[in-house]
Amino acid sequence: MISANNDKIELKGGGNYAKFIGSFSMLQDTFIRTSASLNPTDWNMVSGTWAGLMQSVEFIRIRTEYVNGDEYDLLDNVGLTFTPIINVNQGYVCSPFDSLDGLDGWNFINAASIASVNTEGNPSNCIRIGDAGGSLSYGYAPPKFRGDLSSLKGTGTITFDVKDITNLTNLALPPYLVRLAGVGREATYPITANDAATLKNAWHSFTLPLDSSLWTITLGS
């Protein structure tokens, strides 16, 4: 049985949030090519403004559940009919994870649970990442953190605050603290045992200079 045909595509960014309100024809066992216009009349603004959203889309979610019951869905050929403008990052870019932003376009792998909480933070509001039990969890930054960072080379920094809530005593360091990657190039920033000990049950602020001498180049330049 085909389930309710709503909330198929969602856009978020900069505190703006919209849901596509059009309907798709669904046929079982058949590829269906669908499209959604960027006409604001076809979208329901949950928060913010359409103009603000179009200036800073950081999160696109496509629904892949259409049957009440067991199923698997195949998704292919996701595209845009235009090339978005990617600005050079200037000034201060931040995810404060306030009530409007939620997860602010961040996504995570190998996490048992992800939640936005306002009872913790530095200051209040943060993301709580649940341990998946033996698997390292990694967070992937939204588009506003990505792009051309060449103007920040040697002068810019990546900053973030971390608190590890645990009663365990053994430290197991991951292979790196932060990884930058793009177009055949990768670099990692190390984490030390002292770093890990400092953030145990207490907030710790990291400031990572974008200085090549402090990063390990693992691919490209």
In the predicted model, is pLDDT for residue 216 greater than 80? yes
pLDDT tens figures, 165-190: 988 878 788 899 999 998 889 999 99
| 59's tokens | 């999160």
pLDDT of residue 19: 93
Q: What is the CA radius of gyration of the chain?
A: 20
Measured from the Cβ of residue 75, the count of other Cβ atoms closer than 10 Å reads 8
pTM for this structure? 0.67
pLDDT tens figures, 53-112: 888 787 888 888 877 778 888 889 989 988 877 666 667 888 888 877 778 888 888 899
pLDDT tens figures, 10-32: 998 777 889 998 877 778 888 88
| 43's tokens | 């979208």
57 three-state secondary structure: coil
Max CA separation in the chain (angstroms):
58
Matching residue, tokens 């792998």: 109
CB within 8 Å of 97: residues ≥ 6 apart: 103, 104, 116, 121, 125, 126, 127
The residues with which 116 forms a beta bridge, in sequence order, are: 127
